[in-house]
Amino acid sequence: QQQVRQSPQSLTVWEGETAILNCSYEDSTFNYFPWYQQFPGEGPALLISIRSVSDKKEDGRFTIFFNKREKKLSLHITDSQPGDSATYFCAASDSNYNVLYFGSGTKLTVEP
């Protein structure tokens, strides 16, 4: 049973557009939600994260919007660049042993 779900599976946007990646979860005890970015041939790396006490987290062109009531969150990438082309994973944790549960990922392609 997948505890974290992501959509779409793949997304293509033009350079300069805003990419929106969606994520939902089931376990109401989850309180920490990071997004990881993975380039081909590399391991995932932390991009941005949010805790359940907040509804928005911004870091440059990357923003997380969090809706605790609906158990949904989204990652917005504004002014998308070709260098943003990567697979993005949403994850969730209840802080128990730092275990992260990952979604299946969204492969983002930014066309120049």
Partner 1 sequence: EAAVTQSPRSKVAVTGGKVTLSCHQTNNHDYMYWYRQDTGHGLRLIHYSYVADSTEKGDIPDGYKASRPSQENFSLILELASLSQTAVYFCASSDGKNTLYFGAGTRLSVL
Q: Which residues would be at the binding site for partner 1 (CB under 8 A)?
A: 4, 6, 9, 32, 34, 41-46, 49, 89, 93, 95, 97-105
The smaller minimum CB distance to partner 1, of residues 6 and 63, is found at 6
Query: In the bound complex, what is the minimum distance in angstroms from residue 15's beta carbon to partner 1?
Result: 26
Query: In the bound complex, what is the minimum distance in angstroms from residue 89's beta carbon to partner 1?
Result: 6
86 burial class (0-12, 13-18, 19+ CB within 10 angstroms)?
buried
Side chain identity, residue 69: R
CA dist 10 and 30 (Å) reads 25
